[in-house]
Every structure is written in structure tokens, then in C-alpha cells.
Amino acid sequence: MSKFSIYNTQSRDLQAVNVTGRPVHIYCCGPTVYRDAHVGNLRTFLLADLISRTLKLSGMEVLLVQNITDVGHMSEDFESEDKMLSQAKLEKVDPFEIARKYESKFHSDLARLNISPANSYPRASETIPGMLSSIQTLIENGSAYVSESGSVYFSAQSFPSYGAISGNRLDSLKPGHRYEYSDDGEKKFHADWALWKSAGNRSEMVWDSPWGRGFPGWHIECTAMSLDLLDSHVDIHVGGIDLRFPHHENERAQSNSIVGGEAVDLWVHGEHLLFEGRKMSKSANNVVLVEDLISKGLDPLSLRLALMENRYRSQMDLTWDSLRAANSTLNRWRSSMASWGNSETIGFDSEIHSSLLADLDTPRALLRLRAIEKDQLLTSVQKREIFNYADQVFALDLKRVVEVKPLTSEQSALLESRATARANKNWGESDRIRDLLALDGIIVSDNPEGQSWAWSN
């Protein structure tokens, strides 16, 4: 049987996952729980799920760890208050109450997208002892040093292969690069980074350490958790492309310096997600959450399908039109599944199988599924059983029964009015009517043949 291969950012080529005698160790960088995860964040978490499901489809076991960053230090500007404490002040609650609130919402969003739970979700706040142990090891082997204030820094120059993942060279890095502390006066070299930061005037979210009260640096969290929970070796490390540098570069330096070799076999990164042609941001007012899909009458799994229509390592521009189209496809497939009988047998399709094993080519696998849907040489039972097979990875709940109910006369009239508006190129009126229909749970999609509609559930 062919092995699962995926693109390794460090080696810049496809590499097969060669693990025998134990589960495949996967570590996925999780959320910083001070706000809701948006659809761009969820694309990365879906990537880890697709990898896990594909490995299981090929007969392998998986051990997946995904951290929860609930220590509020991750900020692009360390001269200002960090994000966790800032949100706690904004909502007038304890910072750990903020963390638990958004951690719970994170798990709810994963469930709505049929993203299988990880085997472990270690919280940074609960794994401080492991971080302190990792830092102590780095100090003892000469990879880190303690400053006069009690902060501890990793010595970037102690790690000769720094930059292997991102291509950044130490001699080219400028002082004060993104995500690093600005108090360069304590560093021996400007590219060094904090493993432990002295508390100073900070009184919340601080812990005791051999070097004084303080809090951990962002990068040491993932090193400590992954090495502890995955027996000091990660087969596949997953994260968004924005984490490639400096987070994963620094994490690799730390982890390798502790274990004395390559701690990670494959570094896998999901590309950026745009929405309606722009990067999602609060300032652009285009941050899209799972709740936003639900409010528009869309099945959250329409997001899962829409994301799989693009390769994970290609930049993607998600739109409301593509989400509505995905929702219509889901309803059509579920209706077809019901018409094809009730077989629970898991079939097989070699093209879907090989597409998934070859660097998660989900677009090609979905094209094949559409071809099977229309194939007149296959029986209804065969189609259903192949759809059952594909849904082990796609996880679109294709066996869910679609509620069929008649349109009211008012709804039929609205659909006719919308078709007329589109024919007259009155796009504003067309969109207005579409939004009215969405409030009734009717999702309208447009195609070259005209408009089509489906109930959202």
C-alpha cells in the first residue's frame, strides 16, 4: 500500500511518513484563547484533522497533541499590555476566566466542523514545570543564559543551523523583529529570544522560577509540551504559515538543543486565508467566525467543504458565494445519499485514496467524488458506498437526512423576483432578496444555468 506523503517546509519537498510499531506523533500549534478563532485559524486546525484522518484511512494510528496558549504573552508589541490581560480588562473579568471562555468556544467550533478532538490539549498555564525543566536544560548545555533581571534568553548563535525552516539567516535579521521583546539591552545578541521573562511590575499570570517570578516566552511552551507528551520526537508538526518564523524556527532551535538532534521530522504549514480578497482583520471589519455562517443559515460544514476545495498549501480567497455554493453541494449530496439507499458498507475508490495520500490533494479527490455522483455505470449502492468511504476523511455528514418541505407562496415569489433582478443585472436587489431568503433557511446559489436553492438544514 502506498504511504502518505506531505510537503516538508524544511526540506522543501514531499516526504513519506515512515512510522512503524507506534502511533504517528503529530503536534499542532493551537489557539491563543483571548478571542474567537476565525475561519483562517480554523483552516490550520482542519489541516491537522485531514492529516490525522488520512493516516487512519491508510491503516496507521495517530497520537495528536494540540496546545492551548492561555499564558497571555503573545503580542506583536511587548511594550504595550499583552493581549490576554488586555481582553480581561476589557471584559472586566479574571484573565483565566477569559482563557476558559474562549477555550470552550474553540472546542465548540471544532465540533461544528467535525474536527476530531486531539488526544491531548495541554494548557500552557498548567505545564509551567515542564517549561522550567526545559529552560534549565538549555542553560546547562550552554544554549541559554540568565540576565541580571532574572530573564532567560536562548543564544541564537549557539544553534548553527538556525533558519533551516524559513530561510532567514541570523546575520540578516534586524533587531526588534516581529514577536520579540524590545529590551535588547539584556541580550548578548539581538536575535536572541526570551525563554523566561522577569515579571517586573507585572502581577498577574506570573509564576515562581529558579530565576525569580516571571512568565514563559511563547516559543518554549510548544517545545516543552511536544517533547513531554510525544516522547521527545514529533513526526509531523503542523501550523499556519505565519508561524514558520520566528515561532517554529525558534522552537526547532530549542527542541533540537534539548534532544541533541532533529526533534521534528516534518514541518507542515497551511497557507494564508483571505476573505473576499482581503486579509482578515478587525480594522478591515472582515473577521468571519463560525457563528457568522450559522447566522446566515449556512451549515458550518459548508466551511469545511469550501476549504477542502483548495490545496492546503495554496493561498485561498474564501467568499460568501463559495460558502453558499458549498452549502448547496452538501444538501445535494445528502439528498442523493438518501436516494441511493441505506447501505452502511464502506466502499473504496483508488483515485480518491491516492489523491489524499499524495500531499492531501483534496481538490482532486472532490472532483472524483463529483464524477462518481454523475457516473451512469455505477449503481446507486456503489455510489453510496464510495461516498461512505470518502466521508471518513471529508467528514461532511453525508448520511445526514435533509429536511424536505415545500416553499410557501411568498418564498416562491421571492425566488422569482430574485431571478428577474439578476436577469436585469440589478445586483443590489438580487442580494437583498437572497438575504431575505436566508433568514427563512433558504440558501440560494448562482451558476451558469441560473439560480438554485436548498434548505440550509
Instruction: Please state the length of the chain.
Output: 457
| β-bridge mates for residue 8, sequence order | 13
> Domain segments of the chain: what residues?
5-270, 273-394, 409-455
Q: What is the SS3 string spanning the chain?
A: CCCCEEEECCCCEEEECCCCCCCEEEEECCCECCCCCCHHHHHHHHHHHHHHHHHHHCCCCEEEEECEECCCCCCCCCCCCCHHHHHHHHHCCCHHHHHHHHHHHHHHHHHHCCCCCCCECCEHHHCHHHHHHHHHHHHHCCCEEECCCCCEEECHHHCCCCCCCCCCCHHHCCCCCCCCCCCHHHCCCCCCEEEEEECCCCCCCCECCCCCCEEECHHHHHHHHHHHHCCCCEEEEEEEHHHHHHHHHHHHHHHHHHHCCCCEEEEEEECCEEECCEECCCCCCCCCCHHHHHHCCCCCHHHHHHHHCCCCCCCEEECHHHHHHHHHHHHHHHHHHHHCCCCCCCCCCHHHHHHHHECCCHHHHHHHHHHHHHCCCCCHHHHHHHHHHHHHHHCCCCCCCCCCCCCCHHHHHHHHHHHHHHHCCCHHHHHHHHHHHHHCCEEEEEECCEEEEEECC
105 is in an annotated binding site: no
**Separation of alpha carbons 325 and 264, rounded Å:** 39
Surface-to-core class of residue 136, CB atoms within 10 Å of its CB (0-12 exposed, 13-18 middle, 19+ buried): middle
Evaluate if residue 81 carries a pLDDT over 80.
no
- Percent of the chain residues topping a pLDDT of 70: 94
CATH code, residues 5-270: 3.40.50.620
Reported confidence tier of residue 281, pLDDT bands at 50, 70, 90: confident
Could you tell me if 209 and 131 are in contact, meaning their C-beta atoms sit under 8 angstroms apart? no
126 is in an annotated binding site: no
- Measured N-to-C along each axis, helices 83-91 and 95-112 cross at an angle, to the nearest 10 degrees, of 100
For 137-191, what is each residue's pLDDT tens digit?
999 999 999 999 999 999 999 999 999 999 998 888 766 554 454 455 789 999 9
Instruction: Answer yes or no: is 247 a known binding residue.
Output: yes
Q: What is the pLDDT of residue 204?
A: 86
Report the pLDDT value the prediction gives residue 174, as an integer from 0 to 100: 67
What's the CA gap between 53 and 45, in Å, rounded? 13
Residue 215, C-alpha cell as written in the block: 512568565
The stretch 120-141 carries a mean pLDDT of: 97
* Stretch 312-324: mean pLDDT: 96
Binning pLDDT at 50, 70 and 90, where does residue 79 land?
very low
**What's at 191, amino acid-wise?**
A
Q: What is the rounded average pLDDT of the residues 241-262?
A: 97
Average pLDDT over residues 267-283: 93
29 known ligand binder: yes
Q: Return the higher-pLDDT residue of 452 and 72.
A: 452
- Rounded-to-integer distance, Cα 236 and Cα 415, Å: 49
- Cβ distance 278 to 18 under 8 Å? no
User: What confidence category does residue 77 fall into, taking pLDDT thresholds of 50, 70 and 90?
Assistant: very low
Residue 28 assigned as binding residue = no
Please give the Cα distance from 92 to 97 (Å, whole number): 10
Confidence label for 123 from pLDDT (cuts 50, 70 and 90): very high
